[in-house]
Amino acid sequence: MGQSETPVWHGTTILCVRKDHQVVIAGDGQVTMGQTVVKSNARKLRRLGGGAVIAGFAGATADAITLFERLEGKLEQYTGQLSRACVELAKDWRTDRYLRRLEAMMAVADKNVSLILSGTGDVLEPEDGLIGIGSGGGYALAAARALIGIDGLDAATLDAATIAQRAMTIAAGICIYTNDKITFEKMDY
Protein backbone atom coordinates (compact mmCIF):
# COMPACT_ATOMS: atom_id res chain seq x y z
CA MET A 1 0.00 0.00 0.00
CA GLY A 2 1.42 3.37 -0.99
CA GLN A 3 1.60 6.27 1.43
CA SER A 4 -1.14 8.19 -0.35
CA GLU A 5 -3.62 5.33 -0.20
CA THR A 6 -6.21 5.20 2.54
CA PRO A 7 -6.34 1.86 4.39
CA VAL A 8 -9.33 -0.28 3.49
CA TRP A 9 -11.23 -1.48 6.54
CA HIS A 10 -13.08 -4.79 6.41
CA GLY A 11 -14.25 -7.14 9.01
CA THR A 12 -17.92 -7.19 9.75
CA THR A 13 -20.55 -9.82 9.44
CA ILE A 14 -23.98 -9.01 10.82
CA LEU A 15 -26.86 -11.49 10.61
CA CYS A 16 -30.48 -11.01 11.64
CA VAL A 17 -32.72 -14.08 12.03
CA ARG A 18 -36.46 -13.86 12.75
CA LYS A 19 -38.19 -17.15 13.54
CA ASP A 20 -40.93 -18.44 15.84
CA HIS A 21 -41.50 -15.27 17.89
CA GLN A 22 -37.80 -14.62 18.34
CA VAL A 23 -35.45 -12.21 16.58
CA VAL A 24 -31.68 -12.38 16.94
CA ILE A 25 -28.97 -10.14 15.58
CA ALA A 26 -25.48 -11.64 15.62
CA GLY A 27 -22.19 -9.94 14.83
CA ASP A 28 -18.65 -11.19 14.58
CA GLY A 29 -15.81 -9.42 16.37
CA GLN A 30 -13.19 -9.02 13.68
CA VAL A 31 -11.91 -5.71 12.36
CA THR A 32 -9.15 -5.66 9.79
CA MET A 33 -7.10 -3.00 8.10
CA GLY A 34 -5.82 -4.24 4.79
CA GLN A 35 -4.62 -7.77 5.48
CA THR A 36 -4.09 -7.28 9.19
CA VAL A 37 -6.51 -8.11 12.00
CA VAL A 38 -6.46 -5.10 14.31
CA LYS A 39 -9.18 -6.25 16.68
CA SER A 40 -10.84 -9.61 17.16
CA ASN A 41 -13.52 -8.84 19.74
CA ALA A 42 -15.28 -5.68 18.55
CA ARG A 43 -18.90 -5.32 19.63
CA LYS A 44 -20.99 -4.27 16.65
CA LEU A 45 -24.42 -4.64 18.23
CA ARG A 46 -26.50 -2.33 20.35
CA ARG A 47 -29.91 -2.14 22.01
CA LEU A 48 -31.85 1.03 21.29
CA GLY A 49 -35.22 2.51 22.15
CA GLY A 50 -35.11 1.47 25.78
CA GLY A 51 -34.25 -2.10 24.77
CA ALA A 52 -37.17 -2.48 22.32
CA VAL A 53 -34.88 -2.39 19.27
CA ILE A 54 -31.76 -4.39 18.49
CA ALA A 55 -29.28 -3.20 15.88
CA GLY A 56 -26.00 -4.15 14.27
CA PHE A 57 -23.71 -2.20 11.98
CA ALA A 58 -21.29 -2.86 9.16
CA GLY A 59 -18.83 -0.17 8.16
CA ALA A 60 -16.77 2.51 9.82
CA THR A 61 -17.21 2.39 13.59
CA ALA A 62 -17.43 6.12 14.22
CA ASP A 63 -19.97 6.43 11.41
CA ALA A 64 -22.04 3.59 12.84
CA ILE A 65 -22.02 5.11 16.33
CA THR A 66 -23.23 8.39 14.84
CA LEU A 67 -26.03 6.51 13.09
CA PHE A 68 -26.96 4.62 16.27
CA GLU A 69 -27.24 7.96 18.09
CA ARG A 70 -29.34 9.46 15.29
CA LEU A 71 -31.62 6.43 15.20
CA GLU A 72 -31.99 6.60 18.98
CA GLY A 73 -33.18 10.20 18.58
CA LYS A 74 -35.68 9.20 15.89
CA LEU A 75 -36.96 6.36 18.10
CA GLU A 76 -37.57 8.88 20.89
CA GLN A 77 -39.41 11.12 18.43
CA TYR A 78 -41.50 8.28 16.94
CA THR A 79 -42.02 6.08 19.99
CA GLY A 80 -42.74 2.47 19.14
CA GLN A 81 -42.54 3.08 15.39
CA LEU A 82 -39.29 1.53 14.19
CA SER A 83 -40.22 1.70 10.50
CA ARG A 84 -41.11 5.39 10.71
CA ALA A 85 -37.95 6.19 12.69
CA CYS A 86 -35.83 4.36 10.08
CA VAL A 87 -37.46 6.16 7.15
CA GLU A 88 -36.84 9.51 8.84
CA LEU A 89 -33.22 8.57 9.53
CA ALA A 90 -32.76 7.46 5.92
CA LYS A 91 -34.12 10.80 4.71
CA ASP A 92 -31.63 12.66 6.92
CA TRP A 93 -28.82 10.31 5.95
CA ARG A 94 -29.42 11.00 2.29
CA THR A 95 -29.93 14.76 2.47
CA ASP A 96 -27.66 15.96 5.29
CA ARG A 97 -24.20 16.97 4.02
CA TYR A 98 -22.44 15.46 7.05
CA LEU A 99 -24.44 12.23 7.22
CA ARG A 100 -24.15 11.66 3.47
CA ARG A 101 -20.45 10.90 3.91
CA LEU A 102 -21.00 8.19 6.51
CA GLU A 103 -19.99 4.73 5.37
CA ALA A 104 -22.05 2.15 7.20
CA MET A 105 -25.07 -0.10 6.92
CA MET A 106 -27.38 -1.13 9.69
CA ALA A 107 -29.60 -4.10 10.43
CA VAL A 108 -32.32 -3.22 12.93
CA ALA A 109 -35.20 -5.20 14.40
CA ASP A 110 -37.98 -4.97 16.93
CA LYS A 111 -40.84 -7.33 17.74
CA ASN A 112 -42.63 -6.43 14.49
CA VAL A 113 -40.09 -5.87 11.74
CA SER A 114 -36.49 -6.40 10.59
CA LEU A 115 -34.97 -3.71 8.36
CA ILE A 116 -31.80 -2.90 6.43
CA LEU A 117 -30.76 0.78 6.37
CA SER A 118 -28.21 2.20 3.96
CA GLY A 119 -26.75 5.56 3.10
CA THR A 120 -28.45 5.50 -0.28
CA GLY A 121 -31.79 6.06 1.43
CA ASP A 122 -32.83 2.43 1.47
CA VAL A 123 -35.05 1.06 4.21
CA LEU A 124 -35.63 -2.54 3.17
CA GLU A 125 -37.68 -5.25 4.86
CA PRO A 126 -36.63 -8.72 3.71
CA GLU A 127 -39.52 -11.00 2.90
CA ASP A 128 -38.04 -13.98 4.76
CA GLY A 129 -37.04 -12.20 7.98
CA LEU A 130 -33.33 -12.75 7.33
CA ILE A 131 -30.69 -10.04 6.88
CA GLY A 132 -26.98 -10.41 6.16
CA ILE A 133 -24.74 -7.34 5.82
CA GLY A 134 -21.01 -6.71 5.82
CA SER A 135 -18.05 -8.60 4.40
CA GLY A 136 -19.39 -12.04 5.30
CA GLY A 137 -23.07 -11.11 5.25
CA GLY A 138 -23.82 -13.02 2.06
CA TYR A 139 -22.25 -16.19 3.45
CA ALA A 140 -24.12 -15.94 6.75
CA LEU A 141 -27.38 -15.16 4.97
CA ALA A 142 -27.02 -18.15 2.64
CA ALA A 143 -26.20 -20.43 5.56
CA ALA A 144 -29.20 -19.18 7.58
CA ARG A 145 -31.52 -19.69 4.61
CA ALA A 146 -30.19 -23.21 4.15
CA LEU A 147 -30.56 -24.03 7.85
CA ILE A 148 -34.14 -22.76 7.93
CA GLY A 149 -35.06 -24.49 4.66
CA ILE A 150 -33.55 -27.96 5.18
CA ASP A 151 -36.31 -30.55 5.41
CA GLY A 152 -35.73 -33.76 7.28
CA LEU A 153 -33.01 -32.35 9.53
CA ASP A 154 -33.48 -30.63 12.85
CA ALA A 155 -34.17 -27.27 11.15
CA ALA A 156 -37.74 -27.26 12.40
CA THR A 157 -36.48 -27.50 15.98
CA LEU A 158 -33.71 -24.91 15.63
CA ASP A 159 -34.50 -21.59 17.23
CA ALA A 160 -33.40 -18.24 15.80
CA ALA A 161 -30.36 -18.03 18.09
CA THR A 162 -29.10 -21.47 17.09
CA ILE A 163 -29.59 -20.71 13.41
CA ALA A 164 -27.71 -17.42 13.83
CA GLN A 165 -24.86 -19.15 15.70
CA ARG A 166 -24.46 -21.90 13.11
CA ALA A 167 -24.74 -19.51 10.15
CA MET A 168 -22.16 -17.13 11.61
CA THR A 169 -19.80 -20.04 12.25
CA ILE A 170 -20.17 -21.10 8.62
CA ALA A 171 -19.49 -17.52 7.44
CA ALA A 172 -16.40 -17.35 9.68
CA GLY A 173 -15.08 -20.49 7.99
CA ILE A 174 -15.45 -18.91 4.54
CA CYS A 175 -14.90 -15.14 4.82
CA ILE A 176 -11.39 -14.03 5.78
CA TYR A 177 -12.86 -10.82 7.24
CA THR A 178 -15.12 -12.70 9.68
CA ASN A 179 -14.15 -14.49 12.87
CA ASP A 180 -15.84 -16.75 15.39
CA LYS A 181 -15.96 -14.22 18.25
CA ILE A 182 -19.72 -13.80 17.88
CA THR A 183 -21.98 -11.65 20.03
CA PHE A 184 -25.77 -11.78 20.09
CA GLU A 185 -28.71 -9.60 20.93
CA LYS A 186 -31.96 -11.55 21.25
CA MET A 187 -35.55 -10.49 21.64
CA ASP A 188 -38.60 -12.70 22.23
CA TYR A 189 -42.01 -11.41 21.21
Catalytic residue numbers read 12
Instruction: State how far the Cα of 91 lies from the Cα of 96, in Å rounded to an integer.
Output: 8
Largest CA distance in the chain: 55
DSSP 3-state of 34 = coil
* 158: phi then psi, degrees, rounded to nearest 5: -75, 130
Cα–Cα distances (Å) from 158 to 22, 118, 169, in that order, read 11, 30, 15
